[in-house]
Structure 1
Amino acid sequence: MIEILAVAAAYLLGSIPFAVLSSRLFGLADPRTYGSGNPGATNVLRSGNKKAALVTLLGDALKGWLAVFLAQHFGLSDATIALVALAVFLGHLFPLFLKFKGGKGVATAAGVLLALDPWLGLLTLATWLLVAYVSRYSSLAALLAALLAPLYAATLHGADSLFGVVVLIALALIAKHWGNLQRLMAGQEGRIGGNKPPAAQETPRKKKKR
């Protein structure tokens, strides 16, 4: 029963939509209504509000880290910790509070990996940062980090339960970024910090006289 409750709680924690909450906090439009429509930090950044994007990034990463950390702290089995890691990640991808239409999971995956193994998390995060800095494509950075994360896990731990979790997360990340990959190949993918939403660029409309 404890294991079931832990997995359910992890899913609910992952379902918390920090992109939507931070946008409301900073008085921005719902991130699902502009840009890519993705409730994630990169799309929130398109609003031009870096603080809101940072809050989203930290919130999404923290929930992934916290779920796994608590499972470890309370001494749950390795199998349960693996299920908790997947549950919080899938909670972000398919959140109960957003009718199962969530973000792409990059920040939450980073938080999960940092909790499972700090070295694994740091290597994967460094890969994302390097590719994002050089290319200015968040999606390309996510795809390459997802491809390399299982390799890092295998090198550090071999083919254990942690490796299996990393492979599943990597496959889910690639699937969620499949449309981005197609746009990258077509040269149509937006870069980090570009494409502000129309609502952020328009001037307020004048009220019509009655």
Structure 2
Amino acid sequence: MTWLYWLFSYSVGNFLTAYFVGKMYGVNLQQERSKNLGARNAGSVIGKAAFMWTFLGDALKGVLVVTLGYFWHLEQWVIMAGACFVILGHLYPIWLKFNGGKGVATFIGVGLALSPSLFSMMIVGTAIVLGVTRSLTLGMLGGFVFYIGAIVLTGHLQLYIPILVAIMCMLLKHSSNIKESLRRGK
């Protein structure tokens, strides 16, 4: 059951909502602005409704995988790995030659489904850094620092290793944005 759950999780991650929202509007988001298949690009190219649909669709992928893991009474470490796989499926979808989105909305769904109280630390970190820098990218980075700090404080670092792997992969996908934000100081 474990391997099937992980395969299912990766497959769910492969459903990139932005790709299908773009098709509905006759737009190939892989050719527009940031060329990213994510909510932010969908919103900047198509509009607010496209942002919301893409964000909700991608976040619900994370919620679905974690919730089904609990429903099927899987062990916590199996669910954590499944959460990692749904994010990796979004970042590296096989059907798009491993060129997917950046995983933020999917991570938000995963984080909320795993532990809303722990995830609230990411929101706090994001809000603080966003308030100081006015940069969504740096705000996200600050949120990850707070989230990882909260994980360490709970004493469950070993259990969260798959989530930390997913975060590292997300940061790699965001590396050019992070460098640019740091260069601009914003």
Tell me if both proteins adopt one fold, taking TM over 0.5 as the criterion: yes
Question: Aligned equivalents of 2:185 and 2:57: distance in 1?
Answer: 29
Higher-helix-fraction structure: 2
Question: Aligned equivalents of 2:124 and 2:170: distance in 1?
Answer: 17
Q: CA deviation at 1:167?
A: 2.0
1:178 to 175, 180, 184: 175
User: What stretches of structure 1 move > 4 A for 4+ residues in a row?
Assistant: 129-136
1:92-131 equivalent positions in 2, closer than 5 A: 92-129=90-127, 131=129
Kindly indicate whether the alpha-carbon contact (under 8 Å) linking 1:10 and 1:87 is maintained by their aligned counterparts in 2: yes
Structure 1 pair 166/138, CA: closer, same or farther in 2 (3 Å)?
same
Q: What do residues 107-144 of structure 1 show as CA deviations (whole Å, max 9, x unaligned)? A: 11111111111112232134335544664433222222
Question: Aligned equivalents of 2:99 and 2:115: distance in 1?
Answer: 28
Question: Aligned equivalents of 2:127 and 2:52: distance in 1?
Answer: 15
Structure 1 pair 79/65, CA: closer, same or farther in 2 (3 Å)?
same
| AA matched with 1:66 | L
1:119-198 equivalent positions in 2, closer than 5 A: 119-129=117-127, 131-132=129-130, 135-162=133-160, 164-187=161-184
> Under a length normalisation based on structure 2, what TM-score does the superposition of the two structures give?
0.90
| AA matched with 1:181 | I
| AA matched with 2:173 | K
Kindly indicate whether the alpha-carbon contact (under 8 Å) linking 1:127 and 1:145 is maintained by their aligned counterparts in 2: yes
What secondary structure sits across from 2:73 in the alignment? coil
Correspondence for 1:7: 6
Structure whose alpha-carbon radius of gyration is higher:
1
- Structure 1 residues not aligned, in runs of 5+: 190-210
Question: Aligned equivalents of 1:88 and 1:120: distance in 2?
Answer: 19
Question: Aligned equivalents of 2:86 and 2:2: distance in 1?
Answer: 14
Kindly indicate whether the alpha-carbon contact (under 8 Å) linking 2:83 and 2:163 is maintained by their aligned counterparts in 1: no
- Structure 2 residues not aligned, in runs of 5+: none
What secondary structure sits across from 2:35 in the alignment? coil
Correspondence for 2:88: 90
Question: Aligned equivalents of 1:106 and 1:53: distance in 2?
Answer: 13
Question: Aligned equivalents of 1:29 and 1:134: distance in 2?
Answer: 35
Kindly indicate whether the alpha-carbon contact (under 8 Å) linking 1:153 and 1:166 is maintained by their aligned counterparts in 2: no
What secondary structure sits across from 2:45 in the alignment? coil
Q: CA deviation at 1:18?
A: 0.3
Question: Aligned equivalents of 2:115 and 2:100: distance in 1?
Answer: 25
Q: Aligned residues, how many?
A: 186
Question: Aligned equivalents of 1:92 and 1:103: distance in 2?
Answer: 6
Q: What do residues 62-94 of structure 1 show as CA deviations (whole Å, max 9, x unaligned)? A: 101110110111101122112211110100000
Structure 1 pair 187/159, CA: closer, same or farther in 2 (3 Å)?
closer
Structure 1 pair 133/49, CA: closer, same or farther in 2 (3 Å)?
farther
Question: Aligned equivalents of 1:130 and 1:43: distance in 2?
Answer: 24
Structure 1 pair 68/175, CA: closer, same or farther in 2 (3 Å)?
same
| AA matched with 1:115 | A
